[in-house]
Amino acid sequence: MTVHSPVPLTPRMSDLVGDLTSESTLIASLVDALGSPLNLILPQQIRRNVDEFARTMAVHGLEGSVYYAHKANRSSALVRELADTDARIDVASLAELQHALGSGFAPDRIMTTGPKTPEFLWLALRSGVTINVDTVQELTLVGEISCAHDLPRVDVLVRLSSFTSSGTTISSRPSRFGVSTDGVDAVFSVLDKFRDQLRLLGFAYHLDTIGIPEKARAFDGCLLAMEEARARGHDPRVVDIGGGFGVDYVADAGEWDAFTTALSEAVLGRRDPITWQSTGYGLRNEGGRLRGTLGLYPAHRPVSGPRYLDSLLSTDAPNVGSTLAEAVLDNMHRLWIEPGRSLLDQCGVVVGRVLEVRPANEDESFVRLDLNARDISIEEHGVHLDPVLVPARIGERRPGAGYLIGNLCLEADFITRRKIWFDAMPEPGDLLAFVNTAGYFMDFSADHALDQPIARVVALSRNESGWSWRLDDQYWPDPFYRSAPCSSISSQEGS
């Protein structure tokens, strides 16, 4: 068997993240004070990301709103920073709704999505936020709760799924969320029944796919449903196309291709393994043939985030004869989007302390970290990236390779089963920084297994005088910062 050279996956890093990870003294002192793991959040970055999405909509002449899918990160700093922008928020639980209300989002900037409890619906109705309903049953429940409490009429969006259209062969994958497009009649019946309680604002979809044709078809399905609603006497104005715009984690296409090729060759036994015990991530060797499908996130995604939105909007609407953006514009609809992962691009870093480095075999090491696979769930989410070494000391280091393991007494507690090649091998006391991990990796799965602490969260900002930080729950946008001149003050100042 031929032994090949390293197979790196170098993370794409913004200037802010690059600068932060080079601040080894600052990061080390934060981990000394607050423990490992530690989540670092960059509220400045999320502002930039909102602007990018807004600009993309404006380029297409569209009016609409960016709703941050809160589920992707629990940080208060991010939600409070967003409250200070034009962004809105999509909440998917009672606690997220409370968080949004308490962070400065007025109800007219909040939308609820996902499956909901009656209590969540009650608070949503009581506070007057928009409800994006998932099923006909939920729509009925919203009408009933509103009736029972004699509440003002509420704006509802109806999430659709299972899109079909004649003449196309694009399949729409089955989803357990949303009302099937062939069941929309039942929606109109409920809207008729509760006409004093429910106002139809529009239709929505959210698809967990990167395929533009599949999304274009769902988009088109919503536009058709809008027409149908108008024909039935409603006045819908919003098409909500959900999230799923994606992130480009690995900048170098060559590295990504080399990784997928090396993985296939390793599974077939044609090269040395690049994963622990030849984990195939969905690929397998059946009698010398490669079978299965790679179950990893396509970490090199140059068309992602706002660029993906742009590409979707520029796609022809299957049933209309214009682009999707033009179809929205011509009908004077508003466009809502719900990005989570992509709005968090470059907004956070998870840091963990190296506890031990010991041989795994002749050539490879285990690098044991003071965090576990739930604190940085890159394996669970199938996104592979090399960590950045934040060394505890300067000096000669030898190169090396190994696997990152966690602080739980579980065989399965691998931070990554993918082999990592280090130019400079970590040592106990060093830190490893997992960059671009704000979206889902840092706290979606974190728990207290073995009574291990979950990460504290620190919000960092950089200005002319350098970096400053606050604990996440102590972070608020600067109350005295003026992004635009205040008219009453400037007239007084002028007099």
Chain residues that interact with ligand PLP, rule: CB under 6 A? 69, 72, 90, 113-114, 206, 242-245, 338-342
Q: How far apart are CA 350 and CA 434, in angstroms?
A: 5
226 in Cβ contact with 320 (< 8 Å): no
- Of the two residues 244 and 318, which places its CB atom closer to ligand PLP in the complex? 244
Min dist. Cβ of residue 168 to ligand PLP (A): 24
Min dist. Cβ of residue 72 to ligand PLP (A): 5
Residue type for position 250: V
Q: Compute CA distances 253 → 213, 244, 249, 256, whole Å.
A: 23, 21, 11, 5
Phi, psi at 64, each rounded to 5°: 170, -165
- Of the two residues 200 and 204, which places its CB atom closer to ligand PLP in the complex? 204
Q: How far apart are CA 156 and CA 449, in angstroms?
A: 39
- Of the two residues 74 and 206, which places its CB atom closer to ligand PLP in the complex? 206
Min dist. Cβ of residue 179 to ligand PLP (A): 14
Phi, psi at 492, each rounded to 5°: -65, -40
Min dist. Cβ of residue 256 to ligand PLP (A): 19
- Of the two residues 114 and 453, which places its CB atom closer to ligand PLP in the complex? 114
Q: How far apart are CA 43 and CA 347, in angstroms?
A: 7
Residue type for position 418: R
Min dist. Cβ of residue 139 to ligand PLP (A): 16
Dihedral (CA of 7, 13, 15, 21) sign: negative
Min dist. Cβ of residue 350 to ligand PLP (A): 17
Min dist. Cβ of residue 450 to ligand PLP (A): 28
Min dist. Cβ of residue 257 to ligand PLP (A): 24
- Of the two residues 114 and 400, which places its CB atom closer to ligand PLP in the complex? 114
Q: How far apart are CA 304 and CA 306, in angstroms?
A: 6
Min dist. Cβ of residue 243 to ligand PLP (A): 3
Min dist. Cβ of residue 187 to ligand PLP (A): 17
- Of the two residues 21 and 112, which places its CB atom closer to ligand PLP in the complex? 112
- Of the two residues 72 and 82, which places its CB atom closer to ligand PLP in the complex? 72
- Of the two residues 90 and 370, which places its CB atom closer to ligand PLP in the complex? 90
Min dist. Cβ of residue 246 to ligand PLP (A): 7
- Of the two residues 143 and 242, which places its CB atom closer to ligand PLP in the complex? 242
Quote the tokens at residue 345. 């691009």
Count of alpha carbons within 13 angstroms of residue 208, beta-carbon side: 8
Q: State how beta strands 431-435 and 388-390 pair.
A: antiparallel
Min dist. Cβ of residue 113 to ligand PLP (A): 4
- Of the two residues 96 and 338, which places its CB atom closer to ligand PLP in the complex? 338
| Residue among 182, 75, 68 nearest 136 (CA) | 182
- Of the two residues 256 and 308, which places its CB atom closer to ligand PLP in the complex? 308
Min dist. Cβ of residue 393 to ligand PLP (A): 39
- Of the two residues 342 and 346, which places its CB atom closer to ligand PLP in the complex? 342
Residue type for position 191: L
- Of the two residues 94 and 392, which places its CB atom closer to ligand PLP in the complex? 94
